[in-house]
Structure 1
Amino acid sequence: MSEIIRIGVDLAKLVFQMHGVDAADRALLRRQVKRAQFIGFLAQLPPCLVVMEACGSAHHWARRIAALGHEVRLVPAAYVKPYVKRNKNDAIDAEAICEAGGRASMRFVPVKSAEAQAVGMLHGTRQLMVKMRTMQVNALRGHLAEFGLIAAKGIEKLPVLAALVEETPADALPEIARSSLRALLGGIHRLDEEIAGLEAELKAWHRGNEVSRRLAEIPGIGLMTATALAVRVVDPGLFRNGRDLAAWVGLTPRQDSTGGRTRLGRITKAGDALLRRLLMLGATSLIRSLKTSDSALGRWVRALLARRPPKVVAIALANKLARIAWVVMARGEPFDPRRLEAAAGAA
């Protein structure tokens, strides 16, 4: 008698759709189960492969399903789409997930631990609050400009904006407008405190994580980048080399090849947008200090700046940082400054 060897699960808020097949890919299970019954139903089945899309709640369910003795694989949603047939619905989605999970060449997303998800949540919350603070600072600057009160851009100019709110005479800034501007200032200060608290939690976690501490030794990689790499690159062994990690982050050129001819375009911007942004910020900051450095990396940066725009140079340096970070994570080695110099010399 055939038995189910692989189940595709289309996750949702309340009702989950399942599609199970045997070794010959014959469908043996097509069923909807409610959220509360999902784990209980899987607990009754013999150990098999359970495949899900790598969506928001997938890592939580993956940990719970693995605890039952099943093997769990998470497939990127973009890789499931080619297997979806016409007249898309939950049953067809579950079948497509099941089909994608059985492909030998398929790439899977490693399951994150609850701790890694929690630290990632700190990053996401901090990023949201920084965005909200920027919006409020821009609103404050824009409202002041309506009354002819101008200040330079940048969060560091906030004290100047605050002084304009408090010190501008009433004939130039009506009191009813001043009350609105004070509300914005209060919101900005509260966000400052919240952001500082989140950064303190990240710093405490960083001090207790060996991988994050080693990553922070790399020039251009600070607290935010190190902690983000430590929790978002769950298994560096899934990447064959540092270039694969840089490509996953989206720091490699897009290729368009045909007839033996290869054209390289802009960077793909695929993968993790937060990691890419942090690596770019770190590289941009590092370039400032390398402009006067006599090291091999400094000479490489200056030579590249002489013939390429600064943003292109920052991308190239961010690519190098991603590759070096992979070496530190995959080999479990401390950062060796000579590796960065060798990478610059070989470029």
Structure 2
Amino acid sequence: MSTKLLIQRSSQPARLGWAMAACAGALLAYTLRPHDTTPTTASQTPSTLNAPDQAFTRTFIGTEPDGVLASTGHDLSLSPELIRRFEYHLTAVGERTQAQIRAAIEADLARELNEQGRQHAMRILDAYLKFKTALGNLNQPRMHEVSGTALAQHFKAIRDLRALYFQTDEIKALFGDVDEYDDYMARKLAIVQNKSLTPAQREAELDKLKDALTPENRAHVEQPVVHLTLAAKEEQARQNGASAADIQQIRTQLVGADAARRLEALDREEAAWKERIRQYQQARTTDPQQAQQLKATLFTPQEQLRLAAYE
């Protein structure tokens, strides 16, 4: 996805889950990796996705892939946007087969790229899928071994594996921002764990480390602070009886109008889900037969798998 501000409520990347547990607040910034893949909420109808079946359309309803993939003449422009575009479609894993997802990606690419660019992008997709499969077999450091050094070694192992599937220029163009961010996280953890530093020295080292980042990655580091501030202000405002318009005003002031609209859309989506759950639970207590009918009409097969938590 593009690097414009996206407010997440769930589905964070798991690659550093063990490190997050070990250094909690110190690594909070990881919640918004440069390759964040949460779909952008949009005002378009589901038809903008050109989805071939209803289940896929419903999965991405109200969202669209963003980012620019093509240069002048519809040639492929190698950048992290291409990986984010792949990941947008790959969020449907488990709901669609890999062949279906690959076909959807190919159709998406064909709308923006010329034939040469499409073929190049599809070759990169195949390499990326093989890399992700191999990545699943990579050993994870043990919790008690978490350190800046262990983190750096783990990232090196990932890069060595990646080099088996991509050319050098592709790695720099597609993953350069992620590599810089990973290096930052490993060095940050080393500074946080350095007991020889005074609080003032530690703060100075962290500031120096952050200042060395590209503006894009520096924004990713600072975004979680904004998110925490927003969540606290929203909660306080609701306790004081704020209206929906008041909440939107707070959001707009802190994260901008576009992100505020996306949050508002998420609110509507969450409210609609809760209402469907309410109807289903009520029917289960009064009319089990009707509950089964509601289960079939209100929820997709994928959503029905989640209903066990409410039964």
TM category, shorter: under 0.3
The answer to which structure has the higher helix fraction is: 2
The answer to which structure has the higher strand fraction is: 1
Q: Which has the higher contact order (CA 8 A, sep 6+)?
A: 2
TM-score (structure 2 length as normaliser): 0.27
TM-score (structure 1 length as normaliser): 0.25
Larger Rg: 1
